[in-house]
A = this chain, B = another copy of it.
Amino acid sequence: MPYVDIVTVLAVLQFVVFGFKVARARGRFGVKAPATTGNEVFERHFRVQQNTLEQLVVVLPGLYLFGHYISPLIAAALGVVYLIGREVYAAGYVRDPAKRGPGYGLSFFPALFLLIGGLFGAVRALFYLS
């Protein structure tokens, strides 16, 4: 499923870039490791990265299972929506945490849809098997 695999890598690379931004904010605002608090803007970057980690464990199994049971192309397309949603989320959160909602929804709902689709596909496969 090369389409799904490409989107998988892009989702992980996006997370890596968010991590770079945390490291840059660490330097810029003088937040010394192991601290993860002390500067509001640093904390925003940090929370964007941490929340993206939480979303990755939803979207990666979702991409794989939806791609396997339903359609790799639709899975990849939903994954692209997720990627865009995460960019909107990150930009919104860093500007103003109160405005993180729309980007959150735009990334969370495709991820959830992938996962529920994968569940549906697996349950259906169970009935075909038996």
Q: Of B8, B12, B126, which is within 8 A of A2 by CB?
A: B126
Interface membership of A115, Cβ < 8 A: yes
Q: Please determine whether B54 and A57 come into contact, CB atoms closer than 8 angstroms.
A: no
A26 to chain B, nearest CB (A): 11
Those of A26-66 within 8 Å (CB) of chain B: 32-37, 40, 43-44, 46-47, 49, 53-54, 56-58, 60-62, 65
Interface membership of A91, Cβ < 8 A: no
Interface residues on A, range: 35 or more
Q: Please determine whether B12 and A97 come into contact, CB atoms closer than 8 angstroms.
A: no
Query: Which residues of the other chain, B, contact A84 by a CB distance below 8 angstroms?
Result: none
Q: Of B6, B16, B58, B112, which is within 8 A of A58 by CB?
A: B16
Query: Which residues of the other chain, B, contact A13 by a CB distance below 8 angstroms?
Result: 115, 119
Using CB atoms, name the residue of chain B closest to A100.
Answer: B33
- Roughly how many angstroms separate A57 CA and B11 CA in the complex, as a whole number? 10
Using CB atoms, name the residue of chain B closest to A96.
Answer: B33
Interface membership of A15, Cβ < 8 A: yes
Query: Which residues of the other chain, B, contact A47 by a CB distance below 8 angstroms?
Result: 33-34, 36
